[in-house]
Amino acid sequence: MARKKFYDENGVEVKKRGGCLKWIGIALAVIIILTLIGSIVGGGDSDSNEVTTTESSSNESSEENSTSESSESDLPREYKNALKKAESYLGSGFHFSETGLRGQLEFEEFPQDAIDYAMENVEADYNEQAVKAAKSYAESDFAMSDQGVYDQLIFEGFTEEQAQHGLDSLD
């Protein structure tokens, strides 16, 4: 069977590119879009849980919460929203490296100072994020080699140590 040839606008033959990384990129884009839709549609649920938790706390922790809430209320809205979005991404089944999370907040067009605030205040274990990402790739239909999983983790912005930690978790 002959291989189909592709030509550019000048009539020059070009090699078809793509492969595994193209499909991973498409899958990630779909997941991001679905998460954004889910956060828009169901965005109010976490606020009601916070109120219930605060109401059931003792008086001492209620006083601490009101103190932190007043200092949080002094924050610009963009700071609070950037932090909320970062927490949403990390809690929604996505597996972000620190670099990847920062890039996603930049994609969301938050101001740089709001992104910096969110990155400093989000509770994230990037080693655990690398483990979850590695397991996701290992269990997917992509059938990636260990080197492929490692390379993909590096591509997503995990450090070499985090990528190796994720890979080691597969054993």
Chain segment 3-54, per-residue pLDDT in tens: 555 555 566 665 555 555 555 555 566 566 655 555 555 544 444 344 333 3
Domains of the chain: 76-124 (1.10.10), 126-171 (1.10.10)
Question: Residues 91, 125: contact at Cβ < 8 Å?
Answer: no
- Higher-scoring residue by pLDDT: 120, 145: 120
Is the confidence at residue 158, as pLDDT, over 90? Answer: yes
- What whole-number distance in Å separates Cα of residue 144 and Cα of residue 136? 11
Whole-Å CA distances, 133 to 37, 84, 115: 22, 21, 23
Q: Please report where in the chains the tokens 């400093």 appear, as a residue.
A: 120
Q: Which amino acid is at 106?
A: E
Which range among 32-46, 100-114, 132-146 shows the weakest confidence by mean pLDDT?
32-46
Is the confidence at residue 104, as pLDDT, over 80? Answer: yes
Q: Which amino acid is at 46?
A: S
- Pull the structure tokens for residue 137: 């790739």
